[in-house]
């Protein structure tokens, strides 16, 4: 018996839809790209419940005639290419004629459209088939509403994440849309609330303001270069607004968002020595490159692109960014007025000379030997408490505290030690469900990006559990009244944004992040290496360390203390052989 059958269009459309329509974000991406291809200068996107129940995209582009509207939902129906030769010079974002057919196969669609000089039309489709059609009075342009995504493909539905996560994916698409087209006005509404708005004034800086907030719009430099057929333009962040990850980086190639590791590397190289390790610059950079220098034969959904000469493109990016950074440094130099006289301030005296303190010998042995607290506890039972003496000798390189303790010199890494102290304290409080927070002397205002702002208030309870008291302050800024620890504004902002990132990347908050978050708080709140500490501060820290029973490493695993014995020293000086 013959086995092979041709699948019905309904089934084959559903299967094909799987390639184009993965989730609500991919629907939004296709609809928005169609709006751009239609020449729209204004695009409104609205979603509800992560886009699963409702997606609307409205544009003021060219619209469709009645016949085109009916054809638009057929597979391989496109107005963007006609013959094979058109494939060589594609100027539009779409050209495969698959998106609308695929979307309509797995949802309920309403289309309202009107082309210049034509009557408007309203179409309703379900599972790819037409349900109703009627003439409609509407302005020129197109509105597409997609309801109940995947209602007829439950298997797909299972792969979707929470509404919040799906919303995040859609937001990413809209953010890129805004950054890719400063000339288009974009409004984005989530569950009835305006989330993002860009005016379409043609300025990339306004787009950066809309997407990432004031700090990024103000703290970035213009980049512009046009050599060797590669036009590089856009904005790159000053070192001060660098971030702990690469989320705020985007390249657009001929208007299309792309990902490319070697171009990212080339751009970051322009910052050499300007950024701390683990920090990445912010950038939104547009590349205009003749199509023949780019491999266009890639799937339109793929964001990776190949260049005929990637090194050359990388070089152009490097020099474009480098020149802006150098120019900025020059300007700073010019405006910097050096002080005429150098004022010498003596270092405050350290505690003189020997302090007697009740010390538990186990604490001393911890400092001396750098063993784990657990090991010490196993060692300690038969060691009686004794009176030990230590002397703070001073601070080395503004980073290490030197103490003399009996026959030993102990070097303490001030940051690692302080970090461990804070970590243990807040972890205990957190586990006991006690308030970690400390009321700030003056509340701190922090500006966030619209996405960060939304994510923060979606997760406000977690912030509360970690000791934050945060109020809305308007215009995507927040007022922090209480924080887990007193720290300066910069650190506070970075703890908050890194928290948000963790929540955002994990979708929902996972308990495995708790420890990491406590670590982060401790790290930000602890005194940094390279900062001079006063005598009293050193004393307080050392006293703290000796009083507690800490582990020998900071939460990241670096040692807190190193010991050199007198014997070792004397051997080095050949006093003993």
Nearest to ligand ADP of 44, 495 (CB atom): 44
Quick count: other Cβ atoms within 10 Å of Cβ 493?
Answer: 20
Binding to ligand ADP by residue 296, rule CB under 6 A? no
Among 17, 64, 174, 455, binds ligand ADP (CB under 6 A): 64
Integer CA distances (angstroms), 556 to 199, 210, 349, 552, in order: 45, 36, 32, 11
Q: Does residue 77 interact with ligand ADP by CB under 6 A?
A: yes
Choose from Mg ion, ligand ADP, none: what does 62 bind? Cβ within 5-8 Å by kind: ligand ADP
Helix (H) or strand (E) holding 396: strand 386-396
Report d(CA 185, CA 41) in Å as an integer: 6
Which one of 89-97, 133-141, 240-248, 260-268 is the stretch in contact with Mg ion (CB under 5 A)?
89-97
Residues 191-220 that bind ligand ADP (CB under 6 A): none
Binding mask 94-113 for ligand ADP (x = CB under 6 A): xxxxxxx-------------
Q: How far is the CB of 54 from Mg ion (least distance, A)?
A: 20
> How many angstroms separate the CA atoms of 211 and 222, rounded?
17
Distance, in Å, from the CA atom of 456 to the CA atom of 497, rounded to the nearest integer, reads 9
Which residue of 99, 267, 405, 446 would you call a contact of Mg ion, by CB under 5 A?
99
Interface pick for Mg ion out of 23, 26, 34, 198 (rule CB under 5 A): 34
Which of 343, 347, 379 has its CA nearest to residue 360? Answer: 379
**54-59: strand order across its sheet:** 129-136, 120-126, 108-114, 141-147, 54-59, 42-48, 185-190, 193-198
| Binders of ligand ADP in range 235-294 (CB under 6 A) | none
Phi first, then psi: what are they for 103, rounded to 5°?
Answer: -65, -45
- Counting contacts by CB under 6 A, is residue 79 touching ligand ADP? yes
Window contacting Mg ion (CB under 5 A); options: 66-74, 95-103, 287-295, 497-505: 95-103
Q: Spell out where 100-140 has E strands.
A: 108-114, 120-126, 129-136
Q: Does the protein bind ligand ADP through residue 38 (CB under 6 A)?
A: yes
Pick from Mg ion, ligand ADP, none: which does 77 bind, CB < 5 to 8 A by kind? ligand ADP
Q: Applying CB under 6 A, does 72 fall inside the site for ligand ADP? A: yes
> Could you tell me where the DSSP H helices lie in 236-390?
261-269, 310-335, 361-369, 373-380
Angle at 93 between CA 220 and CA 203, to 5 degrees: 25
Q: Please, which residue, 144 or 287, has the CB nearer to ligand ADP?
A: 144
* 389, containing H or E segment: strand 386-396
> Which residue in the block uniquely carries the two structure tokens 């000469």?
309
Q: Which does 64 bind (CB under 5 to 8 A by kind): Mg ion, ligand ADP, none?
A: ligand ADP
- What does 215 bind: Mg ion, ligand ADP, none (CB cut-off 5 to 8 Å by kind)? none
- Taking the alpha carbons at both ends of the chain, their separation in whole angstroms is 96
| Nearest distance in Å: CB 264, ligand ADP | 29
**Which among Mg ion, ligand ADP, none contacts residue 253 (Cβ within 5 to 8 A by kind)?**
none
**Least separation in angstroms between CB 28 and ligand ADP:** 12
- CB under 6 A: which stretch of 70-78, 314-322, 383-391, 550-558 binds ligand ADP? 70-78
Residue the block writes with tokens 């919040």: 164
Q: Which does 97 bind (CB under 5 to 8 A by kind): Mg ion, ligand ADP, none?
A: ligand ADP
Dig out the tokens for 497 from the structure: 């944004």
Residue 177 binding ligand ADP, by CB under 6 A: no
Q: Which two tokens stand for residue 242?
A: 């660098």
Minimum distance, C-beta of residue 39 to ligand ADP, in the bound complex (Å): 8
* Binder among 34, 324, 494, 497 for ligand ADP (CB under 6 A): 34
91: which 2 tokens? 């100027």
Binding mask 137-166 for ligand ADP (x = CB under 6 A): -----x------------------------
Q: Which CB, 59 or 424, lies closer to ligand ADP?
A: 59
Q: Which one, 31 or 487, has the nearer CB to ligand ADP?
A: 31
Closest CA to 75 of 116, 123, 20: 20
* Residues near 522 by beta carbon (within 8 Å), at least 6 away in sequence: 419, 420, 422, 423, 426, 485, 555
Q: Hey, what are 71's tokens? A: 């054809």
Q: Is 80 in the site for ligand ADP (CB under 6 A)?
A: yes
State the minimum distance, in angstroms, from the CB of residue 144 to ligand ADP.
7
Q: Closer to ligand ADP at the Cβ: 93 or 196?
A: 93
Residue 220 binding: pick among ligand ADP, Mg ion, none (C-beta 5-8 Å cut-off by kind): none
DSSP notation for 193-259: EEEEEE---S-HHHHHHHHH-HHHHHTEEEEEEEETTEEEEEEEE-GGG-BSSSTTEEEEETTEEEB
Q: Minimal distance in Å, beta carbon 245 to ligand ADP? A: 33
Residues near ligand ADP (CB under 6 A)? 30, 34-35, 37-38, 59, 61-64, 72, 77-80, 94-100, 142
Residues near Mg ion (CB under 5 A)? 34, 94, 99
């Amino acid at each position: 018996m013959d086995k092979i059958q041709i699948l019905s269009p309904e089934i084959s459309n559903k299967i094909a839809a799987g390639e184009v329509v993965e989730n609500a974000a991919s629907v939004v991406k296709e609809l928005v790209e169609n709006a751009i291809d239609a020449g729209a200068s204004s695009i409104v996107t609205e979603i509800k419940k992560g886009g699963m129940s409702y997606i609307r995209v409205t544009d003021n582009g060219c619209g469709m005639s009645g016949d085109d509207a009916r054809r638009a939902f057929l597979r391989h129906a496109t107005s963007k290419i006609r013959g094979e030769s058109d494939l060589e010079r594609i100027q539009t974002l779409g050209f495969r004629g698959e998106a609308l057919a695929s979307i309509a196969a797995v949802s309920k669609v309403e289309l309202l459209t009107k082309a210049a000089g034509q009557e408007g039309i309203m179409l309703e489709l379900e599972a790819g088939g037409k349900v109703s059609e009627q003439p409609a009075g509407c302005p020129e342009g197109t509105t597409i509403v997609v309801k109940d995504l995947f209602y007829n493909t439950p298997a797909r539905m299972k792969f979707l994440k929470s509404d919040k996560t799906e919303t995040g994916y859609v937001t990413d698409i809209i953010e890129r849309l805004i950054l890719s087209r400063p000339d288009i006005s974009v409004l984005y509404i989530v569950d009835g609330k305006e989330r993002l708005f860009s005016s379409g004034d043609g300025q990339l800086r306004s787009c950066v303001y809309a997407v990432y907030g004031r700090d990024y719009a103000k703290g970035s430099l213009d980049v512009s270069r046009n050599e060797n057929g590669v036009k590089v333009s856009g904005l790159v962040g000053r070192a001060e607004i660098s971030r702990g990850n690469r989320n705020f980086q985007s390249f657009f190639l001929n208007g299309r968002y792309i990902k490319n590791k070697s171009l990212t590397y080339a751009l970051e190289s322009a910052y050499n020595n300007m950024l701390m390790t683990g920090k990445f610059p912010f950038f939104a950079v547009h590349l205009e490159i003749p199509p023949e220098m780019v491999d266009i034969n890639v799937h339109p959904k793929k964001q990776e692109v190949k260049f005929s000469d990637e090194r050359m493109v990388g070089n152009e990016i490097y020099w474009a960014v480098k020149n802006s950074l150098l120019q900025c440094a020059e300007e700073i130099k010019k405006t910097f007025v050096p002080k005429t006289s150098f004022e010498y301030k003596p270092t405050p005296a350290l505690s003189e000379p020997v302090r007697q303190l009740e010390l538990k010998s186990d604490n001393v042995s911890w400092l001396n030997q750098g063993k784990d607290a657990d090991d010490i506890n196993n060692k300690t039972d038969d060691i009686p408490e004794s009176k030990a003496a230590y002397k703070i000798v001073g601070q080395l390189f503004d980073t290490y505290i030197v103490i003399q303790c009996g026959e030993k010199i102990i070097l303490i890494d001030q940051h690692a030690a302080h970090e461990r102290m804070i970590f243990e304290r807040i972890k205990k409080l957190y586990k006991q469900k006690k308030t970690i927070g400390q009321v700030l002397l003056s509340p701190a205002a922090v500006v966030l990006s619209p996405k960060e702002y939304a994510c923060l208030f979606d997760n406000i309870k977690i912030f509360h559990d970690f000791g934050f008291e945060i109020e809305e302050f308007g215009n995507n800024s927040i007022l922090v009244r209480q924080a887990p620890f007193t720290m300066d504004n910069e650190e506070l902002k970075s703890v908050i944004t890194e928290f948000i990132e963790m929540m955002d990347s994990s979708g929902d908050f996972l308990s495995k992040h708790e420890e990491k978050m406590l670590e982060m708080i401790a790290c930000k709140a602890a005194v940094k290496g390279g900062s001079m500490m006063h005598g009293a501060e050193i004393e307080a820290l050392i006293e703290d360390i000796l009083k507690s029973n800490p582990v020998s490493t900071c939460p990241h695993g670096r040692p807190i203390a190193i010991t050199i014995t007198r014997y070792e020293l004397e051997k080095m000086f050949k006093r003993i052989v």
